[in-house]
Structure 1
C-alpha cells in the first residue's frame, strides 16, 4: 500500500461511562506518545459520560489537536464502532479500547506493514494485564501469515481485535460490525476472509490489554453461549466450515464458558490449543 502516511490512519476508540476516567487518560496518553502519530483519534461517546471523563477529554484535546469526539448517543459498542467508521474519511482504521495502552511503536510498525504488504487487516500479539500495564499476566500470540490465519479462523478467532489496523473500505464493504454478543470481530473476520481480504499479524505485542474476572464472566452469560451457535451457523453459510467441524467447535467453545470464572482463563487456553490442533489434522 505505497504512499500511505499517518494522515491516512484514524484510531477508533469507543468509550462508555463504565470505563475508568483514569484508564481513558492512560489510553489517550499512549496514543499521544506514538513514534508515528495517527492523523485522527476518534473517540466515540457511547452514551453520557461522567464529569471526570469530560475533564480527561478536554485536557487531551488541548494536547492532541487530532482528537475528535463523536456523540451518536447510547448506541452500544457495535453502534459506536459503525458510527466511527461512517464518520471518518481515513483509509485505514486502528481499533483501540479505551482502557488499554498502546506500545509507542504500534502505529509506526503497522503503517509500515500496510505500506509494504497487501493485507487489509493487520493485527499483532498483545500482552494482558490487570492493574499495571508494565506487569503482563499473559501474552496472546496469533498466527502471522494469511494462510495460517484463515486456516485457524475455522475454529478460533485468529486476530486480536484491540490490536488491528484495518482497511476501512474493506470493512464497510463487508457490512461493518454486526451484532453477535462479543464475537462481532470474529464474525467480521469471517466475512472479510470470505470476500478475499488478506490478513497479517505482527509478532510484536503492540497493545497492553486490560483484563479482569468480569471480562471472563461476560463470556459465560446465556447471550454469549447463544452467540456461539449463531457464529457456527455463519461460518457454515460462508463456506468456512462443514457440519462436523461446526459441531466440534460448538462443543469445545461452549464447554469452557460453563466453568467458574477462576477456571475459564486456563480452560480458554486449552480449548484454543485443542481447536488449533484439530485444524492441523484437517
Structure 2
C-alpha cells in the first residue's frame, strides 16, 4: 500500500533534531512514496542545509510567513498524493517498524480511518526516557476516553486522507488542533484504532510539562469543552469535571507542580 508522510518545520525547530527526524523516516522498514514538507515561514541556513541534504526525498512547500500548526498541517495534507498519510514532527524519532505496523493494521481492517500508537518521551537521548503516554486501543474505548482527554498521540497517526477531509481537515485551534479534529471525526462516525506498541520517541524539553498551562492554554481547552458539550459528546456533569480539572491544573497550579503531575500521573 502506498503512503505519504506529512511533516512541518519552522524556525523554532532544532536543525540537528530535524535531520534525525527525517533520517528516522528513511530508515524505516517501509519507506513512504513521498515526504511532503511544509516550511512554515522563514528558517535558518542550517535548516536549509538539511532540506538540501534530503532534496531528492522531499516535496517542499513554503509559507512566506509562519501560519501555525493547524494551517501548516492542513496544507501538507492537501498536497499528499496518496490516500494513506502518516504524520511526523520535526524533532521526533520513528521506530524502525512504525509504518509497517500501521500499514498491516489497515490491511486487516479496511473500515478504519485512523491508526495511532503509543509514545515514549525523552530528554536529549532516546536512552533517557522520562515518560510514556498510553492511549486506549479500540474504537469504543478511544471515543469514551475522548470525553476526558485527547485519545490519540498525534505524532504517531496514519490516516485516510478522504476521511480527514470529510471531517473538515485540520483547522486552527491553539494547542488543540489535533483533539478538535478527532472530535469532528467521531461526529462523522469514523473508526479509530491505536496499536499497543510505541511507534514514536518524542523529544521533550526539561520544562515541557510545566509549560502546559496559563490563561491562553486554558481558554483553548475551555472552548473545546464547550464545543463537545454543544455537540452532545459530553454531558453537563462531565463538562463541569473537565473544566474544573483543567482550571486547577492550568491556572491555579504552580508550574513546577504541574510538571510533576504531568510526568508522574498523566504519563507512565
Q: Please report the TM-score for the alignment, with normalisation by the length of structure 1.
A: 0.89
The equivalent residue for 2:151 is 158
Deviation at 1:115, TM superposition (A): 1.3
- Choose which of 197, 202, 208 in structure 1 pairs with 2:190: 197
8 Å Cα contact 1:218/1:224 also seen in 2: no
CA contact (8 A) 1:126 1:140 kept: yes
Identify if the C-alpha distance between structure 1 residues 272 and 138 changes in structure 2 by more than 3 Å, giving closer, same or farther: closer
Query: Could you tell me which residue of structure 2 aligns to residue 240 of structure 1?
Result: 233
Deviation at 1:135, TM superposition (A): 2.2
Contiguous gaps of at least 5 residues in structure 1? 274-282
Q: 1:251 aligns with which of 244, 247, 256?
A: 244
Matches within 5 A, 1:1-282: 5=1, 7=2, 9-61=3-55, 65-73=56-64, 74-117=66-109, 118-258=111-251, 259-268=253-262
Q: Distance in 2 between matches of 1:254 and 1:116?
A: 42
How much does 1:221 deviate?
2.6
1:10/1:92 contact within 8 Å kept:
yes
User: How far does the alpha carbon of each residue in 1:147-194 deviate from its partner, in whole angstroms, 9 at most, with x for none?
Assistant: 011011011111101111111111111111122210111111111011
C-alpha RMSD of matched pairs (Å): 1.6
Which SS does the other structure have where 1:69 is aligned?
strand
Any conservation in 2 of the 1:124–1:142 contact (CA below 8 Å)?
Answer: yes
Determine if contact 2:5/2:35 at 8 Å carries over to the other structure: yes
Q: Which runs of 5+ in 2 are unaligned?
A: none
Q: Structure 2 length normalisation: TM-score? A: 0.93
Task: Give the paired residue count.
Answer: 264
Does the 8 Å CA contact 2:11/2:42 hold for their aligned counterparts? yes
Dislocated runs of 4+, deviation >6 Å: none
Structure 1 residue 216 displacement after superposition:
3.1
